[in-house]
Chain A
Amino acid sequence: MSDVDFSLWVYLSQTPLLWLSVTLLAFGMTDAFSRKLYRHPLVNPVLLAILVIAGLLRITGTPYRTYFEGAQFIHFLLGPATVALAFPLYEHRGTVRRALLPMMVALIAGSITAIISAVWIASLLGVPRSMLLSLAPKSVTAGVAMGITEQLGGDPALTAVLVILTGIMGAIIATPLLNALGVKDWRARGLAVGLAAHGIGTARAFQVHPIAGTFAGIAMGLNALLTAILVPLAASFIP
């Protein structure tokens, strides 16, 4: 690099502008790619954008802290976006009210399954108890899951990793799995993906159908509450 290039890079790498633009551009491209392939579930725009950006950070030797100074403006919108889930909920409130009972029972059954099965399978495969605690709340939105883990003496950073991995994986497998099961009801499909794969699953559901997105949003919100109650109970059974 010449001195001019270098000083430009030093300047750009210190402003939030560069990595904010890179994040928008990377997602814009992967999202267009996903659209071009008719939203094929395996071409997940979130995962692709993450890989592209992580690659760029590695090539340029940029620490995550520097990246996040730019990306925080996007990250911040997660809160307002959660509030905005009230709009589709309001728009489809009739559909939601008519499905209230089956929805609640399905959420409770699904929430218990998500917690118990993860902990049980991992313990069978020899994962130590300290990690099992961090695994239990993996199906709920990261903020809540990390809070639960912290309260129980697990590792919140491990929980964050497991939560995001669960979300990406859930968003990818939901469509082929639910198709294979022959589920055509958008309400049930949305509930399943929102419950198992929180916000990333909800984002996927909105790509597929507005009713699915609405129910995914409800499932995500209520599962955060259910899991916060159930995981401390379940933890007392972990030997």
Chain B
Amino acid sequence: MIIALALILMCQLAGEILARAMGLPIPGPVLGMAIMFALLMTRSRFEWLKRPAGDGALEQMGSGILASLSLLFVPAGVGIIQRLDILADHWVALGIALIASTVLAMVVTVFTFRLIAGKGDTP
């Protein structure tokens, strides 16, 4: 379990270092996700990875964190609620723009995907 947590944190650390050193516009944790994915794809090839990354502890830790993904946004959200004054006189306009843009983005994404992949349920 400790090794699993350490591996996850090390992927994030490597991602942060990579993002900063190369000035990439991608967040460090997202690069860390790519690194972890590469690790999972290649783990059977490296003898030293077989035990720490292959005994299921890594998956268990990962699904444990992801199961409470919603919770992790609460601290930032509490801060945001206290700063709503920053929207000033434009809160109605900004609210309309946010709602309309979110709806449009979802509709365009879904229909573009459907146009190319074809209609239907998940295979």
Binding site for B on A (CB under 8 A): 23-24, 26-27, 31, 45-47, 49-51, 53-54, 57, 64, 67-68, 71-72, 74-75, 77-90, 93, 95, 98-99, 101-103, 105-107, 109-111, 113-114, 117-119, 121-122, 125-128, 131, 135, 138-139, 141-144, 147-148, 155, 157-158, 160-162, 164-170, 173-174, 177-178, 181, 183-189, 191-193, 195-197, 199-200, 202-204, 206-207, 211, 213, 217, 219, 221, 224-225, 228-229
Which B51-78 residues have C-beta < 8 A from chain A? 58-59, 61-63, 65-66, 69-78
Q: Complex Cα distance A221/B19, Å?
A: 14
- Residues of A within 8 Å of B59, CB to CB, are 87
Count, A-B residue pairs, CB within 8 A: 321
Q: Complex Cα distance A208/B75, Å?
A: 23
- CB of A234 to closest CB in B, whole Å: 13
Q: Complex Cα distance A98/B72, Å?
A: 31
Q: Is the interface of B mostly helix, strand, loop or mixed?
A: helix
- Residues of B within 8 Å of A144, CB to CB, are 25-27
User: Known contacts A82-B12, A139-B102; can you find 6 more A-B pairs with CB under 8 A?
Assistant: A67-B75, A86-B36, A127-B97, A185-B114, A228-B26, A229-B25
- CB of A237 to closest CB in B, whole Å: 16
Assuming the contacts A54-B78, A118-B101, asked whether A125 and B25 have C-beta atoms less than 8 A apart, the reply is no
Beta-carbon contacts of B34-50 to A below 8 Å, as 1s and 0s?
11110111000000000
- CB of A192 to closest CB in B, whole Å: 4
Beta-carbon contacts of B111-123 to A below 8 Å, as 1s and 0s?
0111111011111
Beta-carbon contacts of B15-29 to A below 8 Å, as 1s and 0s?
100000000011111
Does B70 lie within 8 Å of A164, measured CB to CB? no
Does B120 lie within 8 Å of A54, measured CB to CB? no
Show 18 A/B contacts (Cβ-Cβ < 8 Å), sorted by A. Answer: A79-B12, A80-B65, A84-B33, A86-B34, A102-B115, A106-B110, A110-B105, A113-B101, A113-B105, A114-B104, A117-B105, A122-B94, A126-B90, A135-B94, A158-B87, A183-B110, A185-B114, A187-B117
Q: Complex Cα distance A163/B71, Å?
A: 17
